[in-house]
Structure 1
Amino acid sequence: MSRSTPRTMSFVISFAMSPGLRPGLFDDAAMRRLAALGTVRTEVIDDLSRPEARAALRDTHVLVTGWGSPLLDPAALAASRLQAVVHAGGTVKNHLSDEFWDSGIAVSSAADANAVPVAEYTVAQVLLANKELDAMRAAYRSERTTADWHTRFPAAGNYRRTVGVVGASRIGRRVLALLAAFDLDLLLHDPHVDDETARRLGARRVTLDEIFRESDVVTLHAPDLPETRHLADARRLALMRPGAVLINTARGGLVDTAALTEAVVSGRVRAVLDVTEPEILPADSPLYDHPGVVLTPHVAGSVGGELRRLGDAAVDEVDSWIRTGMFRTPVHPETLAITA
């Protein structure tokens, strides 16, 4: 239950995030929308050890957070007037302590907005991986001549290929919806989804082992939990079809990096990795330069101009809270254990 919110009061809106992030999230139009809703403190709270930052938080009714927000724990909230936190990003686990949820402060997240570019990235990589464009491009660059590409790449293409989605998360569901436009067979594994829900999502529900055994591409969209750690381990990687592709845009801990490196170097599987464990691989990792790997630095989510989508989503939530006392996309503490 959230704290009582009189709709007639004058609201103070503050920001808590990494220095320099706010202008990337909120353009002039977004700032004008916020200014129409209350008093906006443009200075960013990034370090609650400073007395002036703690004082600013105490006087804030709606806090808009972003990547790099300081931890909001009971000490930070002491004597605070804070009623709502709106996160202009995905997970709130990094800046809301377990004790925070006892405060009754309402929380919202732009996780739905951040799911859009991750799903777009994933679908693009699925289609390119099945087309084997990296290998074709490398061959063409090296030989600089025409060739019988049909004979050299007889399995290339997306027609009737099988894509397995692990996790019916926001992103996983959006990936399934986008892939429905193509001539693909879609599989889904999620312990919280039944057969009928999977059918509604356009997929066939299977076990995790079946996903790895039957798919040409396996794409991971599960949360990082003790039970999902290294779900892509040596045994399951060995189940994959020769030349199959593992895509990870979720969390690095879902994949056993050593086992995947061995599988890739042996030529058995390919990989598309936007996240790894560790987050920055050792400088001598074969994954950096291997022709069977697409390795990107955690950029599948919102970057550049895509940050504006997060900012606009956050403004929409501030507007909804101030005008109605409710969020459109609230975060519920009881769901945190099964979400990213």
Structure 2
Amino acid sequence: MSVARILVSREDDDQAGYEYLRAVPGLEIVEYDPNSLNLSESQRSVELLMPPYRGSHRPLDLIELLPNLRMVQLLSAGVDEWRPRVPKHVMVASARGAHAGPVSEWALSAILAQLRQWPALVRFQDQHTWAHRKFDAETLAGMRVLIVGAGSIGMAIARKLDAFGAESTLVASSARDGVHGPDELPQLVAGHAIVVVTTPLTDATIGLVDAKFLAAMDDGALLVNAGRGQVVDTDALVLELQSGRLRAALDVTDPEPLPADHPIWDCAGAIVSPHAARTVPGTNRLCYQVAAREIATFLSGGTPSNAAYL
């Protein structure tokens, strides 16, 4: 059997996945430093590249230094940073599916935190105030939730919401049984107390949640973004938050990282987490399990299920 060689980061989060890669027939691990462009001749000769688990954009410039490259296997759910930089003849595959559990858990926690007024309660606690009857909590039971992005993450969120008695409406890039297509989205926004964004970043989704979309949301509705910051028009969202008409829970922002002087920090109706929805113990192993499966499929001559195309 011929052997294919793959560049894999030597950082701790990545070494946790070596066992899965070593189990792939015909694959040899070649370690590299994702912070450096200095590659040995042996490293330059590899056929596969895996960006690191954290800060996956760091080795983007290595693409031009790998003449034999045939595949880039990502550990992220999205491919938007990499696909435009990778030559058309090189396969790009994601780790879609590995993030569904952690990110859906974050989405549910963000929704419940907002509905049960935990940000306000923490501020009361900081002031040593017993806030009985000083805030208005809501229940998730019976609420209608619009999920924009019906991939593995969006579907996992819908399952969790169902357990709380909420009703989910799903929208994807194409319609299928139980899932609406993008052309229906403008008519679906109103009537939902919560809108959850999990769609990947594509030409069709950049700025999708714009001023018109936000204006169509019900008064008091909650926007949850667990997808990509560029899907939401930040300036338009700030205006809605400052007016107090909408609320938001954001794991991703545009710009990102969010500057210290950005107005979203001071919006009482917003909670922000630092692109950390997947960051819980064990997610890196889940990503490597999916990645190893994709690589094995590729090396056997098949098409990885998470392959991304231009």
TM bucket normalised to smaller: 0.7 to 0.9
**Partner of 2:14 in structure 1?**
25
Give 2:2's match in structure 1, choosing from 3, 9, 13: 9
Deviations 1:68-120 (A, max 9, x none): 233465x5443x2x444322223334334566222xx4443212213332222
Give 1:145's match in structure 2, choosing from 117, 127, 130: 130
Q: Distance between the aligned counterparts of 1:331 and 1:9, measured in 2?
A: 23
Q: Which amino acid aligns with 1:147?
A: H
**Partner of 1:4 in structure 2?**
none
Deviations 1:147-190 (A, max 9, x none): 247xx52x611110111111223322222233222211212333
For the pair 1:177 / 2:167, whether they are aligned, the reply is: no
Give 1:160's match in structure 2, choosing from 136, 139, 142: 142
Higher helix share: 1
**Partner of 2:178 in structure 1?**
197
The 3 A distance-change label for structure 1 pair 36 and 238 is closer
The 3 A distance-change label for structure 1 pair 177 and 312 is same
Give 2:105's match in structure 1, choosing from 101, 107, 120: 120
**The residue matched to 1:40 in structure 2 has which SS?**
strand
**The residue matched to 1:264 in structure 2 has which SS?**
helix
Give 1:285's match in structure 2, choosing from 239, 262, 275: 262
The 3 A distance-change label for structure 1 pair 241 and 97 is closer
The 3 A distance-change label for structure 1 pair 236 and 14 is closer
**The residue matched to 1:30 in structure 2 has which SS?**
helix
User: Is the contact between residue 119 and residue 172 of structure 1 (CA under 8 Å) also seen in structure 2?
Assistant: yes
For the pair 1:256 / 2:233, whether they are aligned, the reply is: yes
After superposition, residues 216-227 of structure 1 pair within 5 angstroms as 216-227=193-204
Q: Which amino acid aligns with 1:177?
A: R
Q: Distance between the aligned counterparts of 1:282 and 1:93, measured in 2?
A: 22
Question: How many residue pairs get matched?
Answer: 306
Unmatched runs of 5 consecutive residues or more in structure 2: none
**The residue matched to 1:287 in structure 2 has which SS?**
helix
Give the C-alpha shift of residue 231 in structure 1.
Answer: 2.6
**Partner of 1:69 in structure 2?**
59
Unmatched runs of 5 consecutive residues or more in structure 1: 1-7
Q: Distance between the aligned counterparts of 1:254 and 1:97, measured in 2?
A: 17
Give 1:131's match in structure 2, choosing from 105, 116, 119: 116
Give the C-alpha shift of residue 62 in structure 1.
Answer: 3.6
Give 1:188's match in structure 2, choosing from 154, 170, 184: 170
Deviations 1:193-252 (A, max 9, x none): 14x332xxxx89994334432111111122333443333223332333332211112122
Q: Which amino acid aligns with 1:132?
A: Q
**Partner of 1:57 in structure 2?**
44
Q: TM-score, normalised by structure 2?
A: 0.82
User: Is the contact between residue 17 and residue 288 of structure 2 (CA under 8 Å) also seen in structure 1?
Assistant: no
User: Is the contact between residue 25 and residue 310 of structure 1 (CA under 8 Å) also seen in structure 2?
Assistant: no
Identical amino acids, percent of aligned pairs: 26
**Partner of 1:329 in structure 2?**
305
Q: Distance between the aligned counterparts of 2:153 and 2:66, measured in 1?
A: 32
User: Is the contact between residue 20 and residue 289 of structure 2 (CA under 8 Å) also seen in structure 1?
Assistant: no
User: Is the contact between residue 107 and residue 331 of structure 1 (CA under 8 Å) also seen in structure 2?
Assistant: yes
Give 2:79's match in structure 1, choosing from 92, 103, 108: 92
Larger radius of gyration: 1
User: Is the contact between residue 247 and residue 271 of structure 1 (CA under 8 Å) also seen in structure 2?
Assistant: yes
**Partner of 1:3 in structure 2?**
none
